[in-house]
Amino acid sequence: MEKKRVIWRYFKKNRLAVGGLAMVIVIFMIAIFAAVLSPYDPDKTDVSLKLKPPSPRNYLGTDQLGRDVFSRMLYGSRISLRVGFIAVGISILIGILVGATAGYYGGWIDSVLMRFVDTMLCFPSFFLILTIVALLGPSIFNIMVVIGITSWEGTARFVRAEFLSLRERDYVQAAKALGVKDGRIIFRHILPNALAPVFVTATLGVASAILIEASLSFLGFGVQPPAPSWGNILTEGRTYVFDAWWLTVFPGLAILIAVLSFNLVGDGLRDALDPRLRGRR
């Protein structure tokens, strides 16, 4: 508990990180209460209202089918957060399993797993994701899984580094001497003390996943209409960029704010969790 208080005290000193956390909480609230906040059905069309600029009736204007952009933006936040957190959850799970196994056992197991990680890092991740999604077909499920299974390498390397250090500690050696099974030592004794860099990686990974989903949707390989996402709203707006600026500006700002907020939180966590960086604030 005392360690958590120390981390929070140092985190609070970083005003940008606190601001990012506040914005992340706001985005969460918007996603949770989208149905309450939305003034209209996001899929309701009315061609008589197409491409109307922002007004008291339609706060962020309407699109080419007369749908309310504000309502679609609210519901789009749900998809962006869902993709971000589920994809990161998959990547963290894979990264922890690979990194913990390599760091705990060492030897040839470590060499084989790390060479596999190095091989994966050689592939351009976005083009690999784009290729796999093109083969499997665009859907929310495919996007979450593909982003997750192509972005675990950094987590694996961080976890391995922590395990290489922690496995030599006295409490680990004592557990081995008492005959405690490897699985229990890994997940009960070492892993809880190796999660600090994982939290930072996860926070930054959510921002990356949101940006990748938006990029895929912009290219037509992401969330498919009529389901709203910030990426496909942006895609639909590029055709009318000179006639309906709000179709590109508002979703672009939403993506920018979300990604920046998660990155600020990640940077703040990194500084608060690393004693070597605390003195800089």
Q: What is the SS3 string spanning 239-253? A: HHCCCCCHHHHHHHH
Residue 46 domain-assigned? no
Q: How many structural domains is the chain composed of?
A: 1
Is position 146 within any domain? yes
Q: Please indicate, yes or no, if residue 154 is contained in any of the structural domains.
A: yes
Domain assignment present for 55: no
Predicted pLDDT of residue 129: 84
Stretch 227-235: mean pLDDT: 85
Spatial CA neighbour of 153 closest among 120, 199, 128, 105: 120
* Structure confidence at residue 257 (pLDDT): 93
Res. 254 pLDDT band, cuts 50 70 90 = very high
In a domain, residue 47? The reply is: no
**Token match 């890092």: residue?**
121
User: How many CB atoms lie under 10 A from the CB of residue 35?
Assistant: 11
Instruction: Give the model's pLDDT for residue 280.
Output: 53
pLDDT for residue 9: 81
CATH, residue 205: 1.10.3720.10
* CA-to-CA separations, 141 to 79, 127, 197, 213, in angstroms, rounded: 11, 18, 27, 11
Q: Is residue 51 part of a domain?
A: no
The pLDDT confidence band at residue 278, using thresholds 50, 70 and 90, is low
Cβ–Cβ under 8 Å, residues 172 and 113: no
Percent of the chain with pLDDT over 90: 29
Tell me which of 92-106, 156-170, 180-194, 215-229 is least confident.
Answer: 215-229
Question: What is the pLDDT, as a whole number, of residue 74?
Answer: 93
- Mean pLDDT of the 92-110 span: 91
| HSE toward the beta carbon, residue 223, CA cutoff 13 A | 27
Domain that holds residue 162: 2-41+60-278
What are the tens digits of pLDDT across the range 185-216?
A: 888 888 888 888 888 888 888 888 888 888 88
CA-based nearest residue to 229, from 30, 72, 40, 62: 72
What pLDDT is attached to residue 274? 67
Name the band, by pLDDT with cuts 50, 70 and 90, for residue 2: low
pLDDT value at residue 275: 60
Q: Considering the entire predicted model, what is its pTM?
A: 0.85
Place of tokens 């996007």: 143
Radius of gyration over every alpha carbon of the chain, rounded to an integer in angstroms: 22
Task: Work out the pLDDT band at 30, boundaries 50, 70, 90.
Answer: very high
- Outline where DSSP puts E strands in the chain: none
Q: Tell me if 52 is assigned to some domain.
A: no
Q: Does 67 map to a domain?
A: yes
Tokens in use for 25? Answer: 């909480």
pLDDT of 123 reads 80
pLDDT for 276 equals 56
Token pair belonging to 24: 């992340």
pLDDT for res 121: 85
Mean of the per-residue pLDDT values of the chain: 86
- What is the per-residue pLDDT for 1? 57
Tell whether the model's pLDDT for residue 277 goes beyond 80.
no
pLDDT of residue 92: 93
Mean pLDDT of 88-115: 92
Peptide bond into 138 cis (omega under 30): no
